[in-house]
Amino acid sequence: MKLLAVETSTEACSAALIIDGEIQERFEIAPRIHTRLILPMIDSLLADAELKPQQLDALAFSRGPGSFTGVRISTGVIQGIAFGADLPVVPVSTLAAIAYHFFLQRGEYCAFVAMDARMGEIFWGVYQKDQQGFAQLIGDEVVTLAENISFPDKQGVGIGSGWGVYQTELSQCLGSHLIDFEADHLPRASAIAALGVMGFQNNEAVNVEMAMPVYLRDKVAKKESER
């Protein structure tokens, strides 16, 4: 299978191409210049593989949560390629990508993923490693105050940028459930690609019109406006 993936939801910008399980990736931490980087990254990957977009089987993108602008960039880029090449798209959670990449590196089976969402909040999701090594969501992904997190009765490692900002609040909430924490985990397109292949095989691919971002904060804004 041949699948192209992009990830631009944080200060990291990356693209990855997976061909029959082998992944090539371009990755750079470069805040505010993703629009200048992502298309050359894609062109480079396809040129090295001697492929045109029409020869791909599918696309995948980081659908959020994340930076509003960053999530829009990944969505727009993938929508453009999908329209032009008539390809199906697999939307992949940014939090799931962070957890999956972590599981590849460590032998832990539970990750408390927290991304800094600004405005005093975090994007929060708890993931466990399934039998295939992929990241399986426990409960829901939410945007919340660090002191209001909910979590299962499991021990795990805290990962993501939210731990660099709210480590005290998160650690106090989790107590003995927390084994350790690592704040320097960013989402990568290589993880989006691997999860995209799994999603494609599980019939989770959608037509380009349905390939939409997920911001999480939309729900909060709606509730506040209704009060």
pLDDT at 217: 80
Q: Which domain holds residue 216?
A: 2-93+187-226
Q: Among 55, 54, 52, which residue's Cα sits nearest to residue 42?
A: 52
Peptide bond into 65 cis (omega under 30): yes
Query: Does 84 share its domain with 191?
Result: yes
Query: Does 99 share its domain with 166?
Result: yes
Q: Output the six-digit token pair for 145.
A: 């105050």
Query: Does 112 share its domain with 123?
Result: yes
Query: Does 178 share its domain with 165?
Result: yes
Distance CA 145, CA 149 (A): 7
Q: Among 130, 127, 135, which residue's Cα sits nearest to residue 157?
A: 127
Query: Does 110 share its domain with 45?
Result: no
Residue 207 has pLDDT above 80, yes or no: yes
With 0.85 as the threshold, say if the pTM is over it. Answer: yes
Query: Does 191 share its domain with 144?
Result: no
Q: What is the CATH number of the domain that holds 173?
A: 3.30.420.40
Q: Each residue of 156-177: pLDDT tens digit?
A: 999 999 999 999 999 999 999 9
Query: Does 175 share its domain with 211?
Result: no
- 3-state SS class at 11: coil
Q: How many domains does the structure of the chain reveal?
A: 2
Average pLDDT, stretch 190-201? 98
Q: What is the largest CA-CA distance in the chain?
A: 55
Distance CA 184, CA 168 (A): 16
Average pLDDT, stretch 38-49? 98
pLDDT-derived band at 218 (thresholds 50, 70, 90) equals low
Q: Each residue of 103-124: pLDDT tens digit?
A: 999 889 999 999 999 999 999 9
